[in-house]
């Protein structure tokens, strides 16, 4: 019998996300896909102490399929740059580590335990689950539709709150952008697309990833039957800014 391909579950993280770290690690340990490995890349401004803390937290709770690695981000000029470095650490591990896919699962996103196999069975280059972003009256589905393409830009916008119910119908459908919260990306796509940012531009690597998929004719699919819990908090309370 053919062995199922090895899939990496990974994401950037930092001390600011420790409030949900134990729940996130515990969630990954319940995944029903039998051949996945869990590795996070920590970009906290330290010498690896937070990565060590996360590894200890996992061991103390009996979670053995987990590893935290310190990203080399101490000389980065912004939080966006730090996140980009860690995104590319995830990418590099997939490419060089013999993995077939990356499940990029953000460190504050809790997904159903059968997410990997459900996304894998779609046999798409890029397919993900959905989650809600922001808070209060700004809370909205992280899904965008494409409006038009100009010579130097690709314009997309969020679905309106009144449109969510029509988009989430349990089927697989294309979207312009669904973030990197819970998304399965095959290794061939990662070889083509490197996570990036533009200095002094307030756009994150997930936006550029969606744009680069479009430029490479790679469709992004949303499995609207997979709805994740997003334990997001305002990073500003931890003294972080995007600049």
Give Cα separations from 77 to 81, 138, 141, 231 (angstroms): 7, 28, 30, 26
d(CA 25, CA 22): 5
Kindly state whether residue 181 falls inside one of the protein's structural domains.
yes
d(CA 12, CA 222): 22
Kindly state whether residue 2 falls inside one of the protein's structural domains.
no
Kindly state whether residue 154 falls inside one of the protein's structural domains.
yes
Kindly state whether residue 1 falls inside one of the protein's structural domains.
no
Q: What is the pLDDT of residue 22?
A: 98
Which single residue is written with the structure tokens 């070889």? 191
The domain that holds 205 is classified in CATH as 3.90.550.10
Q: Report the number of distinct structural domains present in the chain.
A: 1
Q: Is residue 240 very low, low, confident or very high in pLDDT (cuts 50, 70, 90)?
A: very low
Kindly state whether residue 19 falls inside one of the protein's structural domains.
yes
Per-residue pLDDT reduced to its tens digit, 94-116: 999 999 999 999 999 999 999 99
pTM of the model as a whole: 0.90
Per-residue pLDDT reduced to its tens digit, 157-194: 777 777 777 888 999 999 999 999 999 999 999 999 99
Q: What is the pLDDT of residue 237?
A: 39
Per-residue pLDDT reduced to its tens digit, 6-38: 999 999 999 999 999 999 999 999 999 999 999
Range of the domain at 26: 7-233
Kindly state whether residue 103 falls inside one of the protein's structural domains.
yes
Kindly state whether residue 238 falls inside one of the protein's structural domains.
no
Kindly state whether residue 241 falls inside one of the protein's structural domains.
no
Q: What is the pLDDT of residue 135?
A: 63
């Amino acid at each position: 019998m053919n062995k199922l391909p090895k899939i990496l579950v990974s994401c950037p993280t930092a001390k600011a996300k420790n409030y949900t770290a134990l729940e996130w690690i515990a969630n990954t340990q319940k995944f029903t896909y039998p051949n996945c490995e869990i590795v996070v890349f920590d970009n906290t401004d330290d010498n690896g102490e937070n990565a060590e803390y996360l590894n200890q937290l996992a061991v103390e709770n009996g979670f053995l399929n987990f590893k935290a690695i310190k990203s080399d981000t101490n000389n980065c000029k912004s939080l966006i740059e730090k996140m980009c470095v860690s995104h590319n650490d995830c990418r590099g591990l997939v490419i060089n580590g013999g993995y077939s896919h990356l499940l990029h699962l953000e460190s504050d996103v809790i997904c159903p335990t059968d997410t990997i196999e459900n996304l894998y069975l779609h046999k798409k280059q890029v397919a993900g689950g959905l989650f809600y972003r922001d808070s209060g009256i700004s809370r909205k589905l992280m899904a965008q539709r494409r409006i038009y393409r100009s010579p130097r830009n690709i314009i997309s916008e969020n679905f309106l709150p009144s449109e969510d119910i029509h988009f989430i119908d349990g089927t697989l459908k294309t979207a312009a952008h669904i973030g990197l919260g819970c998304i399965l990306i095959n290794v061939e796509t990662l070889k083509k697309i490197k996570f990036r940012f533009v200095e002094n531009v307030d756009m994150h690597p997930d936006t550029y990833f969606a744009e680069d998929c479009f430029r490479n004719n790679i469709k992004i699919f949303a499995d609207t039957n997979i709805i994740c819990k997003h334990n997001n908090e305002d990073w500003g309370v931890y003294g972080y800014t995007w600049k």
